Each structure stands twice: as C-alpha cells, then as structure tokens.
Structure 1
Amino acid sequence: MHTHHKTRIKVDPSNPDTIPKFMDELPIPSIARPRAVIKGSPYYEIVMKQVQHRYHQLFPTTTIWGYDGLHPGPTIKVRKNEKIYVRWKNKLPRKHLLPIDRTLHESAGPPDVRTVVHLHGANVAWESDGHPEAWFTRDFAETGGTFSRKVYEYTNRQMGATLWYHDHAIGITRLNVYAGLSGFYLIEDPVEKHLKLPKGIYDIPLLIQDRSFHSDGSLFYPENSEPPAPVNPSVQPFFTGNTIAVNGKLWPKLTVEPRKYRFRILNASNTTAYTLRLGDGRTFYQIATDGGLLEEPVELTVLPLEPAERSEVIIDFSQHKGKKLILQNTNDDGNMGVIMRFDVKLPLKEKDFSEIPNKLITEEQLLDEKQADKTRLLKLDAIEDEYQRPVLLLDDRMWHDPVTEKPVIGHTEVWKFINVMNFPHPIHIHLIQFKILHRTPFDLERFQQDGHIQYTGPPVPPEIHERGWKDTVKAEPGMVTSVIMQFSENPGEYVWHCHILEHEDYDMMRPMRVVQEE
C-alpha cells in the first residue's frame, strides 16, 4: 500500500475539500466523577479551561475552551430524583478567543470573559438555572447582577432524559459555546430498567456542531457580516460553519457491532439545523425527544433537528454486517451534507438481547388547550438598529424591557409564537417541558396591518418526530406555533429565547418570572 501519491493534497483546515473524512474514530465523552458527598448528595467540580484540542488527526491543535478542558465536556450522569451539587469554575484567560461586539449587553467594557452554565431542559430552582446575568469571571472575581450562588443544586425531579449544559453568558453566548463550552447531562429513569433498550457501550451520545477554521487550525468565527456593519467586531445574524464535528472530531467514523445501538443526538450548533438520514434512507426508531421517552417508538427515515433539540434513536445494524453507512444531512450537499459514518466491522461480542419495545412509557399528564389558564400571543419579528443591523425581537421587546411573561405555579399556559419572518426560529423556554399542539398558517399582510390573526388553513399537528416532551420548538415562518405547558414548581427569574445563539445574543431573549399563586 503506497501512500506517496504525487497528487496528495495537503490538508488545509480552512478548506474543507482538503480534509479527509472518516479518519478519526468517534470519541465518547468521559463520565464526570463526583469530588465528594455533601449533605448526602454527590458534589462535582467542573473547571472551564483553555486547552489544545485536536479536531482531526491531520490538523494542528486548536485552542478551545472546554469544561474540565474537554470538548465536549464530561457527561454528567444522574438518576431521576437524585440531587447533585456542581461548582462550575471559571479558569479561563482574561482575553477572549473570539471577536467581541462591544455594542451588545455588558460587552462594552471588561470583563470580556464571563461565563455562566445553563443546564438545558432542567427543572431547577432559578438560582441554579444559569441566568444570563448570573455570570462570573475567573475565580468569581466579578459577578453579574443576578449572580447568587457558586454551587448549583440540581434536583433532577423530572423524567429520564438527554439534557445538555452549555454557557449562557449575556451578550457572548454564541462565542462561548462556539469556543467549546458544551456537554451532556443524562438523567436515568428507573422505568428504563424494565425496557430492554441498548445500554452501556451501546448507548452513545452524539453532539453535532459545525465549525470553521483558519489555515493554522485555529477556530474561525467571523468578525463582521457581509456586507460589513459600520461597527467592528459586529454580531452576525447567523453563523454557518463549513465542517461538521461530532463529539469534537471532524466527520468521524464509529466502528460498531452488527446489533442495536441507542444514540442520543444533540444539535449543539450556533445556527445550523440538520435533517439526518441514514445511508440510502434506511429506517431507524426514535424513542425520545428533548424531555424524555415517547409513549411508543416512531419509525423514521429522516430526523430534523434545530439547534438545541435532542432526539434519541435506536439504529439496528444487525443486517448490515461489513457495510459502511453514512449519517447524512439532507439540508445540504457537499461537505455539509455528511455528518459521520458507521462502519459495521466489529464482531458481535455476545447475543443482542436488547429490544425496540412496542410501548415505552404510559403518559400520565394530559394537557388540554381548552383548560389553559392563560394563552399568550407572542410575535417573532425584527427591527433595525442605528447601524442598519437586524435586531431580532420577541413580542417587540428587548432583553432589558420589563418582564411581561409571568406564569403562575399550578397554571397551564398556551404560548402561540407568531413568526412574521421568513425563516424558522428554535424557541427554548427555560424550566419546563411542553407539548407542541399545532402550527396554523395565517394571513401575514392582515396581521401586519391591524394585528388580527386571520387563519388561512387548518391547524397542522406536530411532526411525527416532535410529539413527545419538548423544551425547544421550531417556530415555522408564516405560522402560529402553539405549545402547552404546566408550571408546577420553582418560582423565580427565568428566560425564554431563540436558540440560534446569534439571535439570542441580539436581542431575541426575554425574562420570564414564575410566580406563586396570589
């Protein structure tokens, strides 16, 4: 086997066409271990550090930020209702890796490197939710206006689910997450013990992110938009990378046995949505959404995922011995149309006794739109700032405007997102999991004239892959997207926002105050 072809392309990290795919084996994030036990509960310390990371075996190393110096960060595994404590420590340098737009919230002066960790999808007391203004700098030297505790408490009073943690600092979330600050948080539910789902080494998380690089291997993040705004650096309306990393490796391969595997798939990209497809359109089975298991598995050939959405699927490789199956992204072609590859090359260790059950869970809680205590109409729109840049808004309000969403503990609410823009937004509500009711087309011109919602067609039920518990919903353009949820505990200061991080930072995020019944 001669490797010295005359035409061998030199790998240039800035040019994805030169980067060979499926060279690196998919890394599996390590499991976080508690440092101690406090008041009978596991206590963790996780440190944000600047480190060198190798995205591809033919790349130079890349300077990134990682939880415990890892990218993705260590996976935190807990049991349902098991309380844990986590001290998130900022040991990052004082200078940011990426260009900071000084016109955004709290970004005008120092501190440049402020962090706060949000556990996405979690039912937690607000002081441990990672409020955007509860940020802290290195060694807690400086803290934001809502900062109140150094050690977070996670009670895990919710269904088993694939959650994730990531940075949420006001005005620079897009930069901190892009620098590498994200990881998995898995809640294990006793009900799963009875289900014979693939487990152990056959239960694998996949964190998908797009990235771009300079020729020297350093992360590329645009300093300005095209055409450039009059301020520099300037926030982008969106970011799209030109490579795909899964668990921190570019276009990896996973060598598997001919058997069933469970994959917990997370779109942790800043802006990019994916539609996943396996090989030549083979079926796979979805068993969970953001908030946990579905009532029964759903057979799919494609799986759309907006930023921050999670989906758990079972892929059965038993009929594909010796084959290679590419996980594709049909939203794109070329390099961005490929995510990773499964190589069914390993011998079967032992007989596969795992199953794709007919029934996963019994749904206890049924929410009825007619019984809602409150319905909110919430517009997704944009204005221009003094530099002619788009400012994305929720209900025509900026982040710092007074809070208008004040759900009451014990109440059921329906939120209707009226998207008057021409592209979808993944809307995330902190603290709760909701159900998608429907999406209904409406007369945009009429609405723009007098604010009246004139529906132009019947409500469309949620897509087959989004019928479980959700914390992030795709608000489609020209549609009213309705979700229903019940607030059951944890009054306090939360937020809701678009999970396109460039939008969240400017200014598509609003406070939400959960209040006790009067």
Structure 2
Amino acid sequence: MPDWQDKLAEISQRNRQEIVHAKLSKREMLRLGLLTSSGTLALKLGLSARALAQSSGSGAPASPPTRPWVAPLPIIPIKQTVKNNNPYEMKEGPPDGTTPINGATRRINHQFCTATTDDHGGYTYGGRFAPVKFYETFMKPSSAKFHPDYSPTNFWGFDGIYPGPCYMAYYGEPILIRFHNNLPSKKSYKGFGIPEITTHLHNGHTPSESDGNPVNYINSSSDPNEINPKGFKDQHYPNVYAGFTSRGDNRGDPTEALSSLWYHDHHLDFTAQNVVKGMVGPYLLFDDRDTGDENTGLRLPSGEFDVPLMFGDFIFDKNCQMVYDLFNSDGILGDKFCVNGAIQPYFNVRNRRYRFRLYNHGPARWYEYALYDGKNYLPFWQISNDGNLLPKALQRTSVRLAVAERADIIIDFSKINTNRLYLVNRLEQTDGRGPNGNILSPGTPLMQINIDKSRTVPDPSFDFSKGTQVLRELPDPDFAKLMQRAAKAKTRTFRFDRTNGAWAVNGKLFDEDQVAARIDQESEEVWIIQNSSGGWRHPVHMHFEEHRILSRNGVATSASSPEYARKDVVPLNWNEEVKIFMRFRDMKGRYVTHCHNVMHEDSGMMFRWDIV
C-alpha cells in the first residue's frame, strides 16, 4: 500500500477508535446517523471505510508480518478447584443463593441450588443438584505475545489468559463457579469491549439464571457506580443429562450427553467485542462412556493426547494491539490465524493417536479443516459434532465448521508416513457473508504438526481402523418415528433477514423485554429456520436444548451426515430453510436464539424465548 494510503488508513482507524471509546452499540450508531440504513459506515470525514480499501478488509491496515511455525502451540491449562475444594476459600464470603441481573440491580434465585448461612457465619449448599466442586475465576486484563515477532498484546481473559482455563467436568458432579469481574471500570477504560460480563456456557443444559443471558451481566468491581461492590456472580452448572424431569430421577437420559462445550461472554450488543478481546475458554464434560481415561469406557485418547484447539482470527495494529472495527456489522475477518492464542504455531506430537477438539470461536470466519502432507489430504476419524459424540465415527478428509461449531477428530499419527504435516483451512472467505463456495488447494496453513517417529509410544486408545464401535446412541434412533413425532408437534417459523440496515429475526431487532415464544415445559416443537438475506450465511445457535435437523430445503437429513446427530448450531446457508426438532425440558426461564456471527448478533439478530 502507498505511504499516503497507509497514513489515511491510520487516521481513519484513530478516528473510529474515538467512537469505540464511547461504547456505542451498532443500534445506537444507526440512530445517530453514523451507519447508513444499509448498515455501512456513513461517509463522514476521516471515518469512511473507503480510506481502507487496500487494508486487511476489516477496517484496519494489514497486520504486521509474522513468520510461521516459530511459536509452539500453547496448551490450555486445566482449571483447579478452590483450595481443598472448600467453598470457605472463595473470595468475598458466602453468596445468598441468587444471581444478579443487569449489573446486580436485581437478583433471582437459583432453581436447583441453595446457599444458607448460620449464626456463626458458616454456610452450606443444598438443593436438588447441590454443587460438589467449587471454582472461582478472575476476569481481568492481561498481556502476552501472540507471536515471537510481536511485542505483548493487551487482552482480557478468564484468569488473565487467552483462551481461558479448561474445565474438566463430570456428569453427576454439579459445580459452582464464582466469576469475579476485575476488569477496568467502564468509565476509565478506553479500548474496545465493555467491562461488564455475562458468561454463557455454550451447549450447557443450564438453568436460565446461570445461562449467561445477554442482560444478566455483572459490572467491574472497580466501577464507582457498582451497586454490588463485590463484583462477582455465582453460576451453577448441574452437569446433568437432559430429561431428568420426565424420568423422575436426578440422572436424566445418558443418550443426551454433551462433551466439548465452551464458555464466552454474551453481553448484549457487545458479545463480538468481548470475544475478540479474549473472553473464551473450553469446558469438557465426561461420563462413564467418554471417561477422560483412555484405558476405560470408549478408550478415547486422554490426558496430554486429548487437545482442545481454539481457533480465532485477528487483526493487529503496528503496535501489535488487537483492532476491532465497530462499524463492520457484516463480520470481521482477521488476517492472522491463532490457535490457542498463538499465530500459526507448531505442535510436536508423538507417534500415536490423538484427540483434537476443534473449536471455531469466530468471530465471523468459517473453516474447513484438513490435514495436508504437502501432496495429499490425509484421512482422520470424526467422532463428534458440536461436541456431541456421533453414533459411529466417520472417516473423513475434511470437516467444516461454522462459527461456534465444534468437532472432535481422532488422528493416528503412527499410520502417517511422514514426520511433518499441516492443519489447513480450505474455505475461501473474503467478507462476513460467509464462505464464497471456493475450495482452496492446498489451503491456508493454520498449524504445523511435527511427528516424532524416533520411538514407539504405548497407545491403549481404541483403533478405529480395526473396527467400529457405538460411540453414543441417539435419543431417537429411528428417524422415521422422529419425523412422525415432529408432524404432531407445534411449529414456529423464524426468518433471519435484514431490516433497515440491521440484522433481524422476523423483521424485529432483539428486545430483551419482548418474548418471541412462550413454550410449555416438557413440550416438543418444530422450528422452521429461514434465511431470506440473499447471499449471507448465518450460524444459528439455540441456547439450553439441542436439536435434530430434520431437513434442508425439504430434503431429509442423511444418516451418513454428521448433521444426523444432535446439534446446537444450524449453519444456515443463503436462501435456505431448515426444519429442526426441539424439546424443552427440566428447567424454566428465559433463553435466547441468535446468529453466532457475533457481529450479526450484536446488530440485533437474536430473539428471546421463555419456558413456562
């Protein structure tokens, strides 16, 4: 780019940052005339995106260059309980059995967890799913090098790391996490993001008060206007299978087991900014089949051979700081690809099987992952979809993930006749519309994998090349009978489209006080999800309950497709209609559904539904 264009781009970027500092949402900018009715930046002096025509494409100059394969893959640390797993060790003292809403201005009770105090200051937990493990995490600013060629980058993180720590949870062991907001005060902080946090456990069968509703945020403990000076919030995760109410027990239906979950901030109008800022992390859930021990149950690779990989793409300025274009409501694409917080890292593996948990945390890019050895794309086994074990493993050479989707894959490095290969992204995507349909060859390299072939390593994990095994039965294994049940269920239609320059559902922007659907507890429904927004794709996420995809444009889901299993994200392609079957069990309260291109979500593409 010529020097004058570089300079103009930097001026435009600085001017935009002044508006970012004002903490305006996209909907507020529309009202102020900073965005046009078509959703693009108004042509105001020193702000126009046209000044950035030769930039990274997301409202900023291209990131400083980096060398690939010079940084090792960071391994996400496992989260530990409070000292001696004793709730008395948690900071700030006992809770009162409630959770704050709207910055602690009002509070609601936990549905399945109570906390009581005695005359001597002691307290105990009770309730149907009383927590047996206790954690606390401190959300705080931090800095780290995303690449050896960069100076430290400032970010926000759970416990001050990006990604946040990995929770190892187990069915039958309810937990309580105390989230402390130690971020800067809203008034003093000048960067992008908002220091008010509401943490969503993505894919969790979670009571609504702990679901991370967009308005259930907590302010910073350093905020002078904080009503609750403690600046913390307790969230209760029962870790129970769905269906326990109808079964009349405290266990639920084991075929509803979840596996690879993740958590992230979900603040109304600011989810994208806070996710880009670093507020994400993995949460793994185990049971007596997927045990976390490769010597038992399904014998899936475990320990150091079970590796969560969180993918995000970013833009960095000349000072190696993250850039966020508030004026981009379509979807920001970064020009630097990070895995677990490192730009194009290398990973040294042993000569055996590994379980890679692939997470696309966005904010807007889609991926098609493949293993490339320089000549060919190598096969692997996909064992899960959106973190849920499939009925049987599928041998594949690529797996596609929209934003917020996950997939677990098994790679047997002992059967690969090379000591080096690459994890690549084969999807071409040039803007927030989603992939344009072109498949790249060989693809964009994301991570280099170096295989130590010098010695044989013991491997007790299951060898899928020698036979198949049932991983997880489906709750409704007979698809024909499921379709018959669906034909008797109540049907609702939700159209994901554009309204007056903003992303909307059924022509309406999200309103926290407007309930789009009141749903009876223990009921079943069919939802028709439509995309009428032309050439745009929308990864649609339903909170709380998973679903089964019945059909796309009238074509029934094939048993050989990964979409045949349970999901929590529907990749909605342009001009497409998808029918899904949903249940609403066990818990009451308010939940949301939204596009997980989080720029679309923040623009208003979300709706509230209540279980009553």
Q: Which TM-score band (shorter chain)?
A: 0.7 to 0.9
Aligned to 1:431: 544
Distance 1:346 1:211, change over 3 A: farther
Aligned to 2:457: 350
Distance 1:136 1:72, change over 3 A: same
- With the length of structure 2 as denominator, give the TM-score of the two structures: 0.71
SS of the aligned residue for 1:207 comes to strand
Aligned to 1:292: 388
Distance 1:198 1:302, change over 3 A: same
Aligned to 1:253: 346
Q: Verify the 8 A CA contact 2:143 2:152 in the aligned structure 1.
A: yes
Mapped pair 1:412 → 2:412 = no
Mapped pair 1:119 → 2:201 = yes
Mapped pair 1:485 → 2:582 = yes
Distance 1:330 1:16, change over 3 A: farther
Q: Verify the 8 A CA contact 2:387 2:408 in the aligned structure 1.
A: no
Structure 1 stretch 14-23 or stretch 29-38: which is displaced more?
14-23
Aligned to 2:370: 277
Aligned to 2:288: 190
C-alpha distance in 2 between matches for 1:149 and 1:16: 36
Deviation by residue 1:137-173 (Cα, 9 ceiling, x = unmatched): 11296679xxx98211000113141000000011111
Distance 1:494 1:354, change over 3 A: same
Deviation by residue 1:80-127 (Cα, 9 ceiling, x = unmatched): 121000011111112446447xxxxxxxxxxx4211100000001110
- With the length of structure 1 as denominator, give the TM-score of the two structures: 0.84
Q: Verify the 8 A CA contact 1:162 1:310 in the aligned structure 2.
A: yes
Mapped pair 1:469 → 2:562 = no
Deviation by residue 1:351-382 (Cα, 9 ceiling, x = unmatched): 22211343212234457233232111111110
Deviation by residue 1:289-327 (Cα, 9 ceiling, x = unmatched): 124211100111111101110110001111235521111
1:370 corresponds to which of 476, 484, 503: 484
Aligned to 2:356: 263
1:399 corresponds to which of 492, 507, 510: 510
Alpha-carbon RMSD: 2.5
Structure 1 stretch 159-168 or stretch 466-475: which is displaced more?
466-475
User: How do 1:55-70 and structure 2 match up within 5 A?
Assistant: 55-70=146-161
User: How do 1:57-206 and structure 2 match up within 5 A?
Assistant: 57-94=148-185, 95-96=188-189, 98-99=191-192, 112-139=194-221, 150-158=233-241, 159-192=257-290, 193-206=296-309
Aligned to 2:415: 319
**Unmatched 5+ residue regions in structure 2?**
1-55, 88-124, 126-130, 242-256, 291-295, 429-439
Deviation by residue 1:207-242 (Cα, 9 ceiling, x = unmatched): 0000110011100112434xxxxxxxxxx2211000
Q: Verify the 8 A CA contact 2:158 2:279 in the aligned structure 1.
A: yes
Identity rate, percent: 29
SS of the aligned residue for 1:176 comes to helix
Distance 1:245 1:434, change over 3 A: same
Distance 1:198 1:269, change over 3 A: same
Aligned to 1:379: 495
Aligned to 2:106: none
C-alpha distance in 1 between matches for 2:443 and 2:147: 16
Q: Verify the 8 A CA contact 1:132 1:169 in the aligned structure 2.
A: yes
Deviation by residue 1:379-423 (Cα, 9 ceiling, x = unmatched): 111012xxxxx2111112221162122222211111111111122
C-alpha distance in 1 between matches for 2:443 and 2:457: 36
1:32 corresponds to which of 66, 79, 88: 79
Which residue identity lines up with residue 136 of structure 2 in the other structure?
A: E
User: How do 1:303-342 and structure 2 match up within 5 A?
Assistant: 303-320=399-416, 322-332=418-428, 337-342=444-449
Aligned to 1:108: none
Aligned to 1:360: 471
SS of the aligned residue for 1:371 comes to helix
Distance 1:301 1:321, change over 3 A: closer
C-alpha distance in 1 between matches for 2:584 and 2:326: 40
Distance 1:461 1:418, change over 3 A: farther
Structure 1 stretch 344-353 or stretch 402-411: which is displaced more?
344-353
Aligned length: 460
Q: Verify the 8 A CA contact 1:413 1:484 in the aligned structure 2.
A: yes
Q: Verify the 8 A CA contact 2:64 2:318 in the aligned structure 1.
A: no
Q: Verify the 8 A CA contact 2:353 2:461 in the aligned structure 1.
A: yes
C-alpha distance in 2 between matches for 1:295 and 1:219: 41
Which residue identity lines up with residue 217 of structure 2 in the other structure?
A: W
Q: Verify the 8 A CA contact 2:352 2:457 in the aligned structure 1.
A: no
Q: Verify the 8 A CA contact 1:66 1:181 in the aligned structure 2.
A: yes
SS of the aligned residue for 1:86 comes to strand
Distance 1:504 1:324, change over 3 A: same
Q: Verify the 8 A CA contact 1:206 1:265 in the aligned structure 2.
A: yes
C-alpha distance in 1 between matches for 2:177 and 2:457: 38
Q: Verify the 8 A CA contact 1:240 1:272 in the aligned structure 2.
A: yes
Which residue identity lines up with residue 481 of structure 1 in the other structure?
A: V
SS of the aligned residue for 1:368 comes to helix
Higher helix share: 2
2:66 corresponds to which of 15, 19, 39: 19
